Structure 1
Amino acid sequence: MVALIATAFVQTGFAQHDHATHQTQSSALLPLYYNIKDALVVGNASLAAAKAGEFVEALKNADAKIVTGANRDGLLEHSGKIAGSKDLKSQREHFAGLSTDMIALAKGSKLSTEPVYQMYCPMKKTSWLSSEKTVKNPYYGSAMLTCGKVVETIK
């Protein structure tokens, strides 16, 4: 009887640890995404490529139960293309796809204890995520730094 009770407690402990690990893996993706965004805001293609490479590695190590199917494929495709390019225009194009998939992930999973702001660029007609309400547009950088607005707060 004692063994049965001990087994139940151990299983519960593993389940809680497992859930915490899943949460940590998925929430680690958001700061990495922000790093890519910030590199694009300042127009640094080399830094964007390096940060996208870090995102790819984190995503490959993330549990498939958290980031699933087409969403995972899209995140890998777009972050991989940003990582493999030194062309800022191309990186910004793929950032739009990466952002679409990250927005879906953020709305389906709790990625942060802090609010996540969904921004929208009317010139590019696409969105991105930010940790702050201040608009810093990754699609146009210094050319149109403040173009955009907060359209949703994801909590």
Structure 2
Amino acid sequence: MKKTLLSLILVLSIVVAKAQNAAIDKVTASYIGVKNALVASNATLAKSRSAELVTALSHPIKGLKPSQQKLLATYLDKLKFDSRHISQTTVIDHQREHFGNLSKNMYSLLSGLKLNGTTIYQQYCPMKKAAWLSESEDIRNPYYGDDMLECGKVTATLKAVK
């Protein structure tokens, strides 16, 4: 009986952890979509990808520990604010302004939660003095697009949590 109960608890904890990771991975993928649109200097695509990010941020992330819930509460409104601003304009310079704050807050959230299912790289542009997150170590600068596509360096790595 004890073995069955322990097995059930283990299975439930794995299911909850996978659900957390899936929700965080959806937010991360939506953020990466915004980043890639800005790399391509496609303001219309950045607008729609950012609307997807607002939607992903609006879905609850269940099963978080109290410290993770507190961290999420600290950054959720900030992330929604910048995402919403990006989603309400096609002025790429304005989108990129908000993307800087979005990236800073996204890094703080993901590095604190430690739930990302894929490895994420924080990259930094010394010309803009701003960072962003990427799914690849290859530098593709969202702040300048084709003008300075490879300007930047990897400054941190958030390893995937399995």
TM bucket normalised to smaller:
0.7 to 0.9
Q: Amino acid of the residue matched to residue 128 of structure 2? A: K
Q: Which residue of 2 aligns with 1:135?
A: 139
Aligned length: 153
Alignment partner of 1:115 out of 115, 119, 132: 119
Distance 1:86 1:6 in 2: 56
Q: Amino acid of the residue matched to residue 35 of structure 1? A: G
Q: Amino acid of the residue matched to residue 140 of structure 1? A: Y
Does residue 1:82 correspond to 2:86, yes or no?
A: yes
Q: Which residue of 2 aligns with 1:102?
A: 106
Q: How does 1:3-152 map to 2 (within 5 A)?
A: 13-63=11-61, 65=64, 68-152=72-156
The runs of 4+ residues in structure 1 deviating greater than 6 Å are 4-9
Retained in 2: the 8 A contact 1:56–1:76?
A: yes
Retained in 2: the 8 A contact 1:30–1:111?
A: no
Retained in 2: the 8 A contact 1:27–1:110?
A: no
Q: Amino acid of the residue matched to residue 41 of structure 2? A: G
Show CA shifts across 1:85-132 (max 9, x none).
111000000000110011112211234343211100111111001111
- Structure 1 residue 11 displacement after superposition: 6.1
Q: Amino acid of the residue matched to residue 60 of structure 2? A: A
Retained in 1: the 8 A contact 2:124–2:152?
A: yes
- Structure 1 residue 5 displacement after superposition: 9.1
Q: Amino acid of the residue matched to residue 91 of structure 1? A: Q
Distance 1:50 1:131 in 2: 20
Shift of the 24–114 alpha-carbon distance from structure 1 to 2, 3 Å rule, reads closer
Bigger CA radius of gyration: 1
Shift of the 14–115 alpha-carbon distance from structure 1 to 2, 3 Å rule, reads closer
Show CA shifts across 1:26-73 (max 9, x none).
121111111100000011001001000001101100327456222111
Distance 1:15 1:113 in 2: 16
Q: Which runs of 5+ in 2 are unaligned?
A: none
